Amino acid sequence: MIQVLEALLFSTLEYAPALIFASLGAVLSERSGVVNIGVEGMMRVGAFAAAVAALAVPTPVGVLAGMAAGAGLAAIHAYLCVKWRSDQVVSGMALNLVALAGMTFLLESLYSPTGTPSIEQLHRWTIPGLASVPLLRGLSGHSAMTYLALAAPFAFHLFLWRTAAGLRLRSAGEKPAAVATMGISVSLLRTLAVLGSGTLAGLGGAALSTSTLERFEHHMPAGLGFMAVAAIVFGRWTPLGAFGAALFFAAGNALRIGLASSAPGVLEVIPQGFLLALPYVLTLLLLSTRQRQSGAPAALGTAYDPEAR
Amino acid sequence: MAEPNATVTEAEAPRSRLAEAIWASLPSALSVGLSLLICLLMIAVTKGSLSLAGNAYLEMLRGGLGDWDAFSETGSWTQLTRPWGEAATKAAILTFTGLSVAVAYRAGLFNIGAQGQMTVGAITAAVLGAKMSLPPGLHAAVCVAGAAAAGGAYAVLPAVLKLRRGVHEVISTIMLNWIAVSLVENWLVVGPLRATATGVNSISGTDQILPTAVLPRLLSDSSRMHAGFPLALLAAFATWVWLFRTRLGFETRAMGQNAEAARAAGIPSARRAVQAMVLAGALAGVAGSILVQGTEMRFPATLGAPYGFDGIAIALIGETHPLGVGASALLFGILRAGGTRMQLLGVHKSFPELIQGLALLFVAGRLIWQWALTRRQKRAPAAAPPAPAAPAPPAPTAAAAGGGA
């Protein structure tokens, strides 16, 4: 039993960083008032860029390239949504479509249709004290991505709720006109938030291609970006809530994969499809039982027009 | 009769309806053109040859519009009808998912869920097509109707959740997409509905539908042009009539433009929202049935192309006007049918999807186009009358992206 839980813990922590980073990115953007359903696309370019860069340079530098690529796609989102007040959902979906087809095109023209060549995976750290403790052993042997992903949500919580910059960012998503009255640029705040969001989504993508696996595969991130959107809704637009939801969804996925490989008999009773649908069903149930208090920022999705009265 | 949403400023001489239509579709046309140009350059850069890129585009057109050179050499009609068939089957599906998104958008709802509704429709059509026995024609029609009903029913949920619980439809439809895909593709199709293995080959997907449920081919057996294409054209026209020539459609659009004003005018907005969403779901469901009954003949292991998401691109590039949707679906149907031929030159067959995605991105920057176009006109005031303040039908941006609250 302990061994099963240990394996589950280990594979949850392998799978979770991508989802956690992407969720934090989405929280950052949406807290500033900009809907970001382009997370899926930003993860995709991040995963691709990181793997491609890591073919030439050390993998940690490749991760930086992935973050930069995510931020690059986010820059388009920010330009369209903040400067030109475009429909944020349309822009996000457009970026998803561009990233999906664009990376497929680049992958096929540069490498092979299925994926890039293998790269050197990020270094796995063994934690000396834990490596011999039953159960907690599952915490050891991960890459820096995992440990960063476990710490980052707390840092973001402190940033958003304990710093002036965090307060301003949240205000831009609740009442942008009030922020502008204080003489602070709503556009700048939102642009920075969206760029940060893309950087994090790119990091999440990079986690997939450099840490979870050791190459970019053609279907990455296979809907994880949308799952991140589910995670922030589930977590009521807070970093810690999204963190919890992301961990929970990742554990569900680890359980499903673990069952498929070690106990296929169970999947005869509970089909895989049920387990795959579970995060979305739960999010929908949660939304439908919580009467009009989703925790979403008040100005989410509305463009801020400084000249409007 | 002037359309209620076409703004005409006082200073401006009334334009003809054709000029209005051209003006309104200019941002989309320019977006598609710019996207085509950028993508051409992308092939040229990655392949290191501009002429190869040009040839790839020619192949794409041949694959969608017919290989006229081969036709004039051999006189074989198949060189034309086969590409037409491929383009028409793709255009038909894109028209339906595009209409689905467009109808909801006009009612102020953003239907991201066409993919899920289409999946539900497709599996319904596949089951009805394989398990029922009915006379030819009627069987096919029952399958299409069943798919429409399933898609419509699946779309009731986001509408009700929005009205009763204030759940934003963008979020609920994203969730419902993945629920539908997970349950259908990872449970039904691999479980209870898996094809009964006949012979040595185990087939993936569901049982093949009966010949009576197949949409009839229109040109010849070698072309896949089937009854779904005229059906799609008809649907685009009918949706136009419904939206722009009936009271119900007017009320739906009024709600999309200003929900408060519509309510104040006595329009039963909740009922209209549910109706629009059901219609949107039904249209997406029919897209699924056309894929099953016209192309795949079964629910395949996976639906393949994300036609539901493509519907968002098709709808917005078509200015969410039913006839514009038909036009943009036709254009991208042709390009995407030609994608397979581009593969001969080493360009991935999904390349037209990149063109489509970029075009949507440029359409999303609608205000940039309007600014650029009106600035040109302001510079030469003698040459042209001042541009209207809002040349295109105002998109229900605020209502569509009204936040997750």
Note down pLDDT in tens along chain B; length 405 residues: 344 444 444 445 566 888 888 888 888 999 999 999 999 998 888 888 888 889 889 989 988 888 888 888 888 888 888 889 889 999 999 999 999 999 999 999 999 999 999 999 999 999 999 988 889 889 999 999 999 999 999 999 999 998 888 888 888 998 999 999 999 988 888 878 887 766 545 567 888 888 888 888 888 777 888 889 999 999 999 999 999 999 999 999 999 888 889 989 988 888 999 999 999 999 999 999 999 998 888 888 888 778 989 999 999 999 999 999 999 999 999 999 988 888 888 788 788 989 999 999 999 888 888 888 887 666 655 444 444 444 444 444 444 333 333
Taking the Cβ of residue A273 and every Cβ of chain B, the question of whether any pair is shorter than 8 Å is answered with yes
Which residue of chain A is at minimal alpha-carbon distance from B401?
A301
Residue A100 in contact with partner chain B when CB distance is under 8 A: yes
Cβ within 8 Å, pair A284-B360: no
CATH class for the domain made up of B17-194+203-391: mainly alpha
- DSSP 3-state assignment of B253? helix
Residue B154, both tokens: 């699946």
Are the Cβ atoms of B354 and A101 closer than 8 angstroms?
Answer: yes
Output b/e per residue, A136-149; b: 16+ Cβ within 10 A.
Answer: ebbbbbbbbbbeeb
Is B187's CB within 8 Å of A301's CB?
A: no
Question: Is A297's CB within 8 Å of B356's CB?
Answer: no
CA distances from B264 to B16, B106, B161, B261 (A): 33, 18, 23, 5
Task: Measure CA B212 to chain center.
Answer: 27
**Is A94 a domain residue?**
yes
Task: Provide the pLDDT for residue B10.
Answer: 42
Q: B24, B27, B28: which is closest to B329 by C-alpha?
A: B28
Contact assignment for A287 to B47 by CB distance below 8 Å: no
* B401 vs A281, A297, A301: nearest CB: A301
Interface contact A267, partner B, CB < 8 A: no
CA Rg, chain A, in Å?
20
Q: Given A80, A273, A287, which is nearest B186 (Cβ)?
A: A273
Count: domains in chain A: 1
> Would A237 be classed as within a structural domain?
no
What per-residue confidence (pLDDT) applies to A81? Answer: 92
pLDDT of residue B191: 79
B67: left (phi over 0), alpha (psi -120 to 50) or beta: beta
* Dihedral sign (CA B292, B295, B297, B299): negative
B175 and A95 in contact by Cβ < 8 A? Answer: no
Interface touch A294/B166, C-beta < 8 Å: yes
A159 close to B (CB below 8 A): no
| Confidence at residue B269, expressed as pLDDT on a 0 to 100 scale | 86
Contact B183 A277 (CB under 8 A): yes
Instruction: Give A290's contacts in chain B (Cβ within 8 Å).
Output: 165
In a domain, A241, yes or no: no
Query: Does the distance separating the beta carbons of B395 and A97 come in below 8 Å?
Result: no
Q: Are B362 and B85 in contact (CB under 8 A)?
A: no
Among the partner residues A97, A104, A230, nearest to B360 by beta-carbon distance? A97
Contacts of A89 in chain B (CB under 8 A): 110, 112, 170, 400-401
A96 contacts B367? CB cut-off 8 A: no
Examine residue A262 and state whether it is found in any structural domain, yes or no.
no
ipTM comes to: 0.89
> Is residue A91 less than 8 Å (CB to CB) from chain B?
yes
Kindly state whether residue A45 falls inside one of the protein's structural domains. yes
Identify whether A83 is part of a domain: yes
Among partner residues B170, B176, B364, which is closest to A91 by beta-carbon distance?
B364
- Adjacent-strand bridge partners of A125: A142
Asked whether residue A37 is assigned to any structural domain, the reply reads yes
- Return the axis-axis angle of helices B228-245 and B269-290, rounded to nearest 10°: 170
Closest partner CB to B404 (pick from A108, A226, A300):
A300
Put simply, the answer to whether B178 touches A226 (Cβ < 8 Å) is yes
| A154: containing domain | 20-124+135-228
Q: Inter-chain contact A292–B166, Cβ cutoff 8 Å?
A: yes
Mean pLDDT by runs of 10 across the 309 residues of chain A is 84 92 95 94 96 92 95 95 90 93 88 85 82 78 89 95 93 90 91 96 94 90 90 90 92 83 73 85 84 75 77
Chain A hits for B182, CB-CB cut-off 8 Å, are 273-274, 276-277, 280
Mutate to test the interface with A, among B110, B174, B188, B335 (most CBs of A within 10 A): B174
Task: Decide: B91 and B233 in contact? Cβ < 8 Å.
Answer: no
Q: Tell me the Ramachandran region of residue A121: left when phi exceeds 0, alpha when psi lies from -120 to 50, beta otherwise.
A: beta
* Domain residue extents for chain B: 17-194+203-391
Taking only the tens place, the pLDDT of each residue in A154-208 is 999 999 999 999 999 999 999 998 989 888 999 999 999 999 999 999 999 999 9
C-alpha–C-alpha distance, residues B166 and B273, integer Å: 13
pTM recorded for the entire structure: 0.88
- Tell me which residue in A102, A277, A300 faces B403 most closely, judged by beta carbons: A300
